[in-house]
Structure 1
């Protein structure tokens, strides 16, 4: 298949969405927990979560356009607090179900059977079933004029990672944490490390590290 820009834009809407959502490859699968100012919880699966920097520890995410209600974005902007929870293989079905358009008064935690977990100092709920959890504080919000999406930038305030999944150098073994990856809109994948490479230097050949 070879398509130019005109051919891409001429594709049937759902076909084009499936194609373009898949073409970038594997994406992180996370469920983002929020609560409004009155403590009513919300949970939504979001695949466009990305690293922005380590000092300060910044994570970005993209939230889709808002012609309909976007409870996650509203709660983040209202309270400045949210959580990012890695989807594990044990709760893929429940995580995927959070994409359904439940009414604002319906908590996705209750609807999907996932468990709210609260930590002192973080307003938003975590997902108890997740093995890796990040507590976030809103730092910047940028509506993107090009397509109506919203870029949210947050700073990590709290981390919960199983000790057995963290190497001596700080790297995380995501396979050991049972974190899954997402492709397209609805395909979930288990992960397995193929290789770990040494720091690249121009005067040295590529070198694999011990697993």
Structure 2
């Protein structure tokens, strides 16, 4: 297949949607949990969480354009300033996927998808109990993007993960807890570690053949 921009734009809508959402490769699968000021809890799956910096620790994710009747995640973040990011593992990928459904406002995905929530250390937003890696976030800034989406930036306020999943260098072993990734909108892949390489210094680059 060899497509130019004009040919891409002429593709059938669903085919194009699946194709363009897949070409970026495997993306992280995360559930973002929020709680409104009236204590209504919400959780939704996202595949756009990215690392921004380590010192200070910051992550970001992309929120789709908000309609006239916005869904719960973004309004809750703006209202309270807090949210959680929870890694998805193989044991609950189906439940995690169905949190993308458009439920009635006020109906909790935790309840509908039978995902158990938990509150840790007085943090405002709920975590997903079965998630192996739980990250408590504080909203810092939202940046409008040219396509109407929103780049949501937050600081890492809390981190909870099993000791056995971290090596002596602080690297998290995603395979060790059956972490998953997403391709496109609805296809999930298991993650297997292939190799690990040292920090690259010019005088240590191998003589590749």
- Tell me the TM-score normalised to structure 2 length: 0.96
SS in 2 for 1:176: helix
Hey, what does 1:72 align to over in structure 2?
Answer: 73
Hey, what does 1:159 align to over in structure 2?
Answer: 159
Cα distance in structure 1, aligned partners of 2:155 and 2:136: 8
Hey, what does 1:169 align to over in structure 2?
Answer: 169
Cα distance in structure 2, aligned partners of 1:134 and 1:120: 12
SS in 2 for 1:136: strand
Hey, what does 1:136 align to over in structure 2?
Answer: 137
Q: CA RMSD in A?
A: 1.2
CA contact (8 A) 2:71 2:105 kept: no
* Deviation by residue 1:90-113 (Cα, 9 ceiling, x = unmatched): 000000010000111110000000
* Deviation by residue 1:153-200 (Cα, 9 ceiling, x = unmatched): 000100011000011111110110221111011111111101100111
- Tell me the TM-score normalised to structure 1 length: 0.95
Hey, what does 2:101 align to over in structure 1?
Answer: 100
Correspondence 1:82 to 2:88 = no
Once the two structures are TM-superposed, the CA of residue 138 in structure 1 deviates from its matched residue by 0.3
* Deviation by residue 1:126-146 (Cα, 9 ceiling, x = unmatched): 0001010000000111122x1
SS in 2 for 1:193: coil
Hey, what does 1:31 align to over in structure 2?
Answer: 31
Once the two structures are TM-superposed, the CA of residue 201 in structure 1 deviates from its matched residue by 1.0
- Equivalenced residue count is 206
Hey, what does 2:183 align to over in structure 1?
Answer: 183
For structure 1, list consecutive stretches of 5 or more residues without a partner in the other structure.
Answer: none
Correspondence 1:13 to 2:30 = no
Once the two structures are TM-superposed, the CA of residue 206 in structure 1 deviates from its matched residue by 4.3
Correspondence 1:59 to 2:59 = yes
For structure 2, list consecutive stretches of 5 or more residues without a partner in the other structure.
Answer: none
